[in-house]
Amino acid sequence: MSGRAPARVNQVAAAAHATPYNRDMFNASLPGRRRALLAACLLLTALLPAGVAAMGEELRAADAVLVVKSEHRLYLLRDGQPFRSYRVALGLNPNGHKEREGDYRTPEGSYRLDARNAASEYFLSIHVSYPNPADEAHARRNRWKPGGSIMIHGQPNVPHKRPEYYQSADWTDGCIALSNDDMLEVWLLTRTNMPIEIRP
């Protein structure tokens, strides 16, 4: 990295942080330099047009996301057809639809990717809009809390287990986890308010 690059990254980070949405999504405990780099990633990807050329390949965004839990796969869809596929880890209790807080299940149904966080406890995260009104009504009828904070995210920034565990087990609280390389690609190829369908 050239001597001028860190200053430029800090300028981009400052611009990102000036936006209320981005500021609210920041993790203030991260070291300043890393926070600046992540902010730059957030701002620059938000400004990417729907189609950009990189390394001779068009990186046109997906228009929908599909997760098939029984396959442990996340698919990016374009015009209704999958064009990327990734292995995912699910909640510790992966079978069945999420119904309540603490059941360690990954939701099933139709949702939206409604927020993005470049500085979460994991390597990037995209929020899934669970619970939807039907989920909330079901929980209310049963006097449960529906839970929330369901994300698509990468690996933990501070792992508590060996890498092999995260690569082979369902380990989340209900989120959808990918390798960091795959998460970066999903981050770049999705947009806020994109539909996501999660199937059993």
Cα 32 from Cα 120, distance rounded (Å): 14
pLDDT at 38: 53
Q: Which helix (H) or strand (E) holds 42?
A: helix 32-47
Cα 83 from Cα 81, distance rounded (Å): 6
Tokens coding 103: 């059941």
Higher pLDDT, 126 or 12: 126
CATH of region 57-199, choose from 2.40.440.10, 3.60.40.10, 3.50.50.60, 1.20.1640.10: 2.40.440.10
Average pLDDT, the chain: 79
pLDDT at 3: 36
Over residues 113-141, the pLDDT tens digits come to: 999 999 999 999 999 999 999 999 999 99
Residue 106 in contact with residue 99, Cβ under 8 Å? no
Instruction: Indicate the DSSP class of residue 59.
Output: -
Asked if residue 42 has pLDDT above 60, the reply is no
Provide CATH 2.40.440.10 ranges for the chain: 57-199
Please tell me the pTM assigned to this model: 0.71
